[in-house]
Structure 1
Amino acid sequence: MTNIRISPLWLCLLLIASGADAASLGAKAAASIEEMVPDEQLVQRCDMETLERLDAERVLPYAFAPIEYEKNTVIAAGAAYRRAGKWYRLQFSCVASSDNLSIQSYRFSKGDLVPRSEWESHNLFP
């Protein structure tokens, strides 16, 4: 029998892409996040927070603009989230603890519905 090892980053990405919500990610995802490099930890933890707070199916923090990092802060001015099969624009800032495992501050602003005709050009999918 062959053992297959999935990297922590891919595990979290697979869970998030599968539509798993933050509550169901549980201890395994938290443990996976601990194994990541700090920038990956920060983005994944903030993505999980976004999924939970917006009751979203998916989040893409760099859909319309690159992510900005500042210490333990992610600023996603061009993000998108999917809820009920539709994509919406989103801006958020997320400040994590020094170990990137807990969220200290999270602010967001929901935007407009993204027209279906724009999905492909921003890597948004049904």
Structure 2
Amino acid sequence: MSDPRSKQAREVLGRTEPFERATQICNLEVMAQINGRERSQRADFVNAEATAPVQIRDSDIEAAGAAYRSRDKWFRLRFTCKLNRAGDEVVDIRFTPGAPIPRRDWEKYSLMIDDHPMHD
């Protein structure tokens, strides 16, 4: 998020409700981390609440039921994210990418294709 190319994203996030802002900051960071660590993956979207609600305690976010999209497939994801006191910067993030989510389950979890919800 500190990259100058992220200026527009930071401005938009600055106008969102605190819960949503915190979740989106963590989503963006975990997506960047996946792309930096998992060479075969190109994550382009993270849904922190795909299969379970996000838990927030103070500046800690736990997303046990997250998912990420890579190369038109969805994968399970679990992450914990700690923000600074202001809630605008990630100070620690830990994540575990998981198994692919079967396409038949995408609609059930409101996962998207091409940034639109999937409908058969």
Q: Same fold (TM over 0.5)?
A: yes
Name the CA shift for 1:121/1:107 in 2 (closer, same or farther; >3 Å).
Answer: same
TM-score, normalised with respect to structure 1: 0.76
Displacement of 1:23 after TM fit?
6.0
2: distance between equivalents of 1:81 and 1:99?
26
| Unpaired runs of at least 5, structure 2 | 36-42, 114-120
Quote the offset at 1:86 in angstroms. Answer: 0.7
Partner of 1:8: none
Which of 47, 53, 62 matches 2:33? 53
**Sequence identity percentage:** 30
2:83 aligned with 1:100, yes or no? no
Q: Greater share of helix residues, 1 or 2?
A: 1
Task: Specify which structure has the higher proportion of strand.
Answer: 2
Q: Which range moves more in the overlay, 63-72 or 29-38? A: 29-38
Alignment length, in residue pairs? 105
Distance 1:80 1:116, change over 3 A: same
After TM superposition, what 4+ stretches of structure 1 lie above 3 angstroms from structure 2?
A: 22-25
C-alpha change, 1:79 and 1:25, in structure 2 (3 Å) is farther
Q: Note the C-alpha offset of 1:24.
A: 8.2
Q: Which of 13, 19, 22 in structure 2 is aligned with 1:39? A: 19
How big is the shift at 1:74?
1.0
Q: TM-score, normalised by structure 2?
A: 0.80
Deviations 1:27-76 (A, max 9, x none): 12112222333212211110111221112111111111011000111100
- How big is the shift at 1:25? 5.7
5+ long unaligned stretches in structure 1: 1-21
Label 1:25 to 1:78 Cα distance change in 2 as closer, same or farther (>3 A): farther
Deviation at 1:124, TM superposition (A): 1.0
Q: Return closer, same or farther for 1:88/1:32 CA change in 2, 3 Å cut-off.
A: same
Select 2:75's aligned residue among 85, 88, 97.
88
